[in-house]
Amino acid sequence: MSTDYQGLAKQLVARAKKKGAQQAEVYMEIGRESSVRVRDGQIEDLTQATSKGAGVRVFVKNRLGFAWTSDFTPDALNATVDRAVELAAASAPNPLNGLPGKKQLGKPADVGELFDEAVASLDPEWKIKSALEMEKAGKAFDPRIKTFESVGAGDYVTEVHLASSEGALGTYRGTYVYLSASAVASQGDQLQVGDWFDYKRFLNELKAPELVAQEAAQRAVRMLGASKVKTQAVPVVFDPMMAASFVGSIGAAANGDAVYKKSSFLASKLNESIAPDGFTIVDDGLLARGLGTSPFDGEGVPTRKTGIVERGVLKAFLYDTFTARKAKAETTGNAARGYRSLPSIGSNNLYLEAGTRDPKELVREVKNGFYVTKMLGHGLNLVTGEYSRGANGLWIENGELTRPVQEVTVAGSLLGMLKSIDGIGSDLTFRGSTGAPTIRFAELTVSGE
């Protein structure tokens, strides 16, 4: 790094204190990203962008001020600090305002390597070659793959620097690399789209381009001829991607702010059994090479592993510092932010721990049911827990995946769905920072014709 960003952050904190702030914090992000998309063997676009910015948060007599800039000239940075202090003077006081103190800050967590030099120095030619290989492999997979909606490859390189008047001081670097493909299958007058991607911090962990494309193609082709089914209550199996979406809904309901405001269906369920014994959801900011892993959160609080649901029992909610003070709880190191925003509660690496069942067995044991591979819409009410989403997938008959199904709705209440889980696969899969294995529900309502 040619610039001492950490030293610069400390200087800005000192200026804020000199200007009258009792507490001050500077959060900086420096990043570079590049991507390529191809279509019909030609490069559609090739982009590269850099960004950097600093967010300044100050407290003056329990009054909050916040300002940010992407201009790192000395005058602009100083003006941003002064603006934050001015805004604090004009805001309403709140005795709960303030930065995390030394007790909450502690020492940044040891999370291992998050930065891959192979990604940071990735040649644009690799991205072009990988995208072209994906398109070629996808079309060769099946003659019914006529085209791709999109095929792309890209990478991100980021640095985060944070300093505060309360003793927070930290920095880390991270890399991300991805491949994505969206294949279109055609048969008669029907078109079906299959999407797939892989997303990792380290280049040597990324799936081969042809495997990503073949998975996208296979998901498109197997949906050709899809139709509705009659409305019925049957066992329903979520593949790992859809299970991860379900886990994300539980994570959103465990947001400490929603719980404090009683706008989560989990608000009154702490220490109650809400799922089967084998069901454990954790938020883990320490997960090795996880996409959501970092040594500290957006306020400098060390990240940690938090058991939200442990062996079926709801054990914890997720908090940042301000919400924890409101709820008379402790921050869980879940303050998420960018330099343009104030901290708010977010998850790190949220996942359902793997079970012991072979995912194929979970399907084989179903005589008549639905295997869900894609969901549409956002039919979820976190206040009541009511769940209703459009779904596509494959019908299960006598333990076999048979005909494709589309334009149906899977519905239930999240609490009822949790209690209905009767199988958890051993295939924990991450396609992002939320992961899950295959899960089976004993019975849900599938609404179709």
Question: Tens digits of per-residue pLDDT, 281-334?
Answer: 999 999 999 999 999 999 999 999 999 999 999 999 999 999 999 999 999 999
Query: Residue range 57-65: average pLDDT?
Result: 97
Instruction: Quote the mean pLDDT of the chain.
Output: 96
- Where are the domain boundaries for CATH 3.30.2290.10 in the chain? 5-221
**3-state helix vs strand vs coil in the chain, percent to 5:** 25, 40, 35
Euclidean distance between CA atoms 333 and 292, whole angstroms: 12
Please give the angle made by the CA atoms of 254, 233 and 246, to the nearest 5 degrees.
Answer: 20
pLDDT in the model for residue 63: 97
pLDDT in the model for residue 99: 97
pLDDT in the model for residue 306: 98
Taking only Cα atoms into account, the Rg of the chain, rounded to an integer number of angstroms, comes to 24
Domain 5-221 sits in CATH 3.40.50.300: no
pLDDT in the model for residue 377: 78
Query: Which amino acid, 25?
Result: E
- Of the pLDDT bands very low, low, confident and very high (cuts 50, 70, 90), residue 391 is very high
pLDDT in the model for residue 389: 93
pLDDT in the model for residue 10: 97
What tokens appear for 202 in the block? 């380290």
- Per-residue model confidence as pLDDT tens digits over 430-440: 989 999 999 99
- Nearest CA to 359 out of 408, 423, 297 is that of 423
pLDDT in the model for residue 194: 95
Query: Residue range 341-355: average pLDDT?
Result: 97
pLDDT in the model for residue 1: 43
Euclidean distance between CA atoms 446 and 371, whole angstroms: 11
Given the structure tokens 């991805």, which residue do they identify? 178
- Of the pLDDT bands very low, low, confident and very high (cuts 50, 70, 90), residue 96 is very high
pLDDT in the model for residue 2: 54
The model's pTM is: 0.94
Beta bridge partners of 256: none
What tokens appear for 189 in the block? 């007058």
Residue 328 burial (C-beta neighbours within 10 Å; 0-12, 13-18, 19+): exposed
Query: Residue range 138-149: average pLDDT?
Result: 94
pLDDT in the model for residue 316: 98
Q: Where are the alpha helices (DSSP H) in 106-239?
A: 117-120, 124-141, 209-221
- Per-residue model confidence as pLDDT tens digits over 212-245: 999 999 999 999 999 999 999 999 999 999 999 9
